[in-house]
Structure 1
Amino acid sequence: MTSLQSSSARSTSRTASRGRTDAALRQDLATSRPLVPTASIGGALAAGGPLLVCMAVAVVGWFLTNAGEEGSPSGALRVGAHSWLAAHGSTLAVEGIRLTAIPLGLTLLCAWATWRVGRRVGESVSGHGPDAARIADGERDWTVPIAAGLFTTGYAVVGVVACALASTAASSPNPARVVLWSILIGGLAGLPAIALGSGRASIWLPVIPDAVRDVALVSWRILRTWFAISLFALFAAFVVDFSTAANVVSQLHADAGAIALMALATAAVLPNAMLFSSSYVLGPGFTVGTGTTVSTSLVVLGPLPMFPLLAALPDQGPTPWWTGWLMVIPVIVAAVIAGRVQRDRPVLAWDRAAIRGCAGGITAGVVLAMLTAFAGGAVGPGRMSDVGPYTFDVLLHAITSFGIGGVAGALLVCWWQRDGGDWLTSRLGAVRGRLPRIPFRR
């Protein structure tokens, strides 16, 4: 009986050991795929996925608008490829008119696809290079930089091929700008995704000083909140003049297919419109054509294209008295965000709290100005070749408003944490002591 039990136990042990070995083998195979082909093909897939989506949408739109009576499928595919190239900074020629505006909505779609594919690539190559213990001992790990470089190269190759296939004598896309934007997307979305998917980010992030991480947190929360406010302002302005947008659609005599394509075009430029709204609330405003301006102090407009989203523009002429107070919003936003970070990560030193709030606000302002620089461009002939926010003025207003608000919010909460709460409690106690006592009767 004892021999049977021991034989059964040994068999169970061998089975469990073999099961663990099989699981470990599958894990090794899944995380140790060949580095060069995995990263290169991953970059090509990250670029090719949104490219195929744009081409498919263009073909569907071609069938919806004229049921295939005009043009050809190859022309529709070329239009889709040009929309993808425009999202990567390549200029586009339409009937001899050079368009330079970048549809940032499509750019965000490409960055999102790059992030998702980059995570999978990072997981697939995470078994390469030294482990965490060897990295902690000082051994260099080049897995993520090499994978990110190959990933970006594969992405850029797809962009160059798309330029070659979609190029015509009239359009002539710019391969250099496409390569540059491919490097930007690969560096800003692909590299962090690969580092996160491979587990290297969890090793590197703790090395970053706490002060730097806190500044980045303040900046990120300010930008996130500010984008939400700008989008809400755009939505509110559009809803107020929704009848104008409906009138534009009715004058175009658009059918259901054309309206669907117009909705997709609106979604493609929605981040651009949000940055226009951001510039307006900040104070500098923007231009919608040569000789025009839209700001909280003055609105001067001219003839505009029949595009429904333009219904969100304010009426021409003097602005209401309350629009000038909109410039207080960024100061309040920065103060609230910096105060909340100070509350969650208490720093009782005045200088450190002030530096964290100010540096976070200034960083948010610089990033906002950099994004605003890509919001405008030429969208048509003549006067419509000058459309966009006033980027330099946005930079000055943003770093001033966010910086002052960040300092004020951080110092106010720091004062409360040091002795403000005790002071307020003592003052309330003194006031309560001077109040007359009212007898309570049952």
Structure 2
Amino acid sequence: MTSLLSTTDGRTAERAANGPSDPRHRRPLVVLATLGGVVAAGSVLLVCLAAGVFGWFLSDAGTHGEPRDALQVGALGWLMAHFSGVSVEGVTVTAVPLLVTLVCAWAVWRVGQRVGDAISGHGPDADAIADGERDWTVPTALACFTLGYGLVAFVTHALAATPQTAPSLGRTLLWVVVLAACVGGPAIAVGAGRAAIWAAFVPVPVRGAVAACVSIVRYHLLVAVVLLVAALAVDLGTAVNVLSQLRMNTGESTLFVLATLLVVPNATLFAGAYLLGPGFAVGTGTIVSPTVVALGPLPMVPLLAALPDAGAPSAWTPYLMALPLLVAGAGAARAQRRHPTLRWEEGGLRGCTGGVFAGVVVGLLATIAGGAIGPGRMQTVEPFAFDVLVHAITTFGIGGLFGGLAMTWRQRRTARRAAPASA
């Protein structure tokens, strides 16, 4: 965030030097913002369509079906990344390929920044905004950006949806609004220089708490990725054996592995839920946690080789639940290094508040990580989201509190040592 604001400050200074009438920053707002939404959506959609055609040729060299079938698969994959769900032979699949969703969010961020920079000359200047003058530049651009993105989603649904697949247009458009508001709006504000102006009005403790939240979430996901890779590496032979039993040719095996990569972010969030204690379900009536592992019949998916064996877990696995506590402390302490304070109550409050915010973020991520992936028992494959939310708020809040206090103690000690030298 600091780097983004620094970049924005540089752009703001450049615009101030060039003057408000610089044509590079006063392009038509409505047209450009709407076109930006179309580009952000269409760029990823084109990649998904190309991937569908590539997978069609990779699987059977194009001997079965037609190109439009491959294009339909790519379009449905893009819609699924926007939480549309899809029906496959009468079975509802609601799981989201979060890797595609992340790519969509990245495209929205990049295009949103460019749109913001191009329209930054509209509206009042920084001094007028500081004096309280209303500025509708970013809200107007965001509304047009959302409209353009939603238009692409609507057309894609109209062309790709069939009564057999039945993706939900309502959920797709709802996610378009969420994606635009949570990613597109901040991106436009950063590109337009408004984020730097607004950030100046935010109290320093609040900025410190937000920095702690971001740091804790980042560290938690990093540890979850390490756990996932380690668990898969331990049972790599099982994964290879499962893949060989599927009796697929080289092209089909390659396509299967690439498709598995689309849900690696989902698996990372599952691993994070495991670390926090509640765990997750891989089928109705199952549970995978550090203290209990109860599994039923599983589909032949190599990624599921990372699951622990059913039965009593090892004696050391419950100690894994201490990692989120340590992660929260380390994340809060690292964030406070960039936003130092010598007040005990402020340091502890920053860490605790940042930890609570991080717990809410992780809980929300857990709600979108799972979904139905098949018939019967496989309609329930998801983290226990509410339990994850409660555990995350508690664990991260306590860890952040101790991390903030520990860094405050260190900064106070450093300040006491530096005082005689400066005197």
Do they superpose with TM above 0.5? yes
The answer to whether residue 162 in structure 2 is matched with residue 188 in structure 1 is no
Question: In 1, distance between residues paired with 2:382 and 2:205?
Answer: 35
The residue number in structure 2 matching 1:104 is: 98
How far did 1:197 drift?
Answer: 1.0
How far did 1:140 drift?
Answer: 1.6
How far did 1:351 drift?
Answer: 2.0
Mapping 1:286-301, distance limit 5 Å:
286-301=280-295
RMSD: 2.0
**CA separation of 1:251 and 1:215: change in aligned 2, threshold 3 A:** same
Structure 1: segments with no counterpart, 5+ residues:
1-22, 424-442
Matched-pair contact (CA < 8 Å) for 2:212–2:336: no
Q: What does the per-residue CA deviation read over 1:124-165, in whole Å, with 9 as the maximum and x for residues that have no partner?
A: 111111222322232221111100110011101111111111
Identity %: 52
The residue number in structure 2 matching 1:254 is: 248
The answer to whether residue 75 in structure 2 is matched with residue 75 in structure 1 is no
How far did 1:418 drift?
Answer: 4.4
* The one of 318, 323, 342 aligned to 1:324: 318
* The one of 35, 40, 64 aligned to 1:41: 35
Amino acid corresponding to residue 213 of structure 2 in structure 1? S
How far did 1:415 drift?
Answer: 3.7
Q: What does the per-residue CA deviation read over 1:173-213, in whole Å, with 9 as the maximum and x for residues that have no partner?
A: 11111110001111111111111111111211111111111
Structure 2: segments with no counterpart, 5+ residues:
1-16, 418-423
How far did 1:85 drift?
Answer: 0.4
The residue number in structure 1 matching 2:380 is: 386
How far did 1:414 drift?
Answer: 2.8
TM-score by length of 1: 0.87
Deviates more, 1:260-269 or 1:204-213: 260-269
Question: In 2, distance between residues paired with 1:220 and 1:25?
Answer: 35
Question: In 2, distance between residues paired with 1:240 and 1:83?
Answer: 31
**CA separation of 1:106 and 1:27: change in aligned 2, threshold 3 A:** farther
Matched-pair contact (CA < 8 Å) for 2:332–2:404: yes
How far did 1:420 drift?
Answer: 10
Matched-pair contact (CA < 8 Å) for 2:109–2:184: yes
Mapping 1:402-417, distance limit 5 Å:
402-417=396-411
The answer to whether residue 280 in structure 2 is matched with residue 280 in structure 1 is no
Q: What does the per-residue CA deviation read over 1:99-118, in whole Å, with 9 as the maximum and x for residues that have no partner?
A: 01111111101001111111
The residue number in structure 2 matching 1:437 is: none
* The one of 141, 166, 171 aligned to 1:172: 166
Structure of larger gyration radius: 1
The answer to whether residue 45 in structure 2 is matched with residue 56 in structure 1 is no
The residue number in structure 2 matching 1:367 is: 361
How far did 1:345 drift?
Answer: 3.3
The residue number in structure 2 matching 1:201 is: 195
Deviates more, 1:263-272 or 1:101-110: 263-272
**CA separation of 1:74 and 1:302: change in aligned 2, threshold 3 A:** same
Question: In 1, distance between residues paired with 2:98 and 2:88?
Answer: 19
Amino acid corresponding to residue 315 of structure 1 in structure 2? D
Mapping 1:214-225, distance limit 5 Å:
214-225=208-219
Question: In 2, distance between residues paired with 1:118 and 1:78?
Answer: 28
TM-score by length of 2: 0.91
Amino acid corresponding to residue 38 of structure 1 in structure 2? L
**CA separation of 1:417 and 1:95: change in aligned 2, threshold 3 A:** same
**CA separation of 1:312 and 1:30: change in aligned 2, threshold 3 A:** same
Matched-pair contact (CA < 8 Å) for 2:126–2:197: yes
Question: In 1, distance between residues paired with 2:55 and 2:273?
Answer: 33
Amino acid corresponding to residue 165 of structure 2 in structure 1? S
Question: In 1, distance between residues paired with 2:191 and 2:416?
Answer: 47
Question: In 2, distance between residues paired with 1:200 and 1:26?
Answer: 14
Deviates more, 1:358-367 or 1:402-411: 402-411
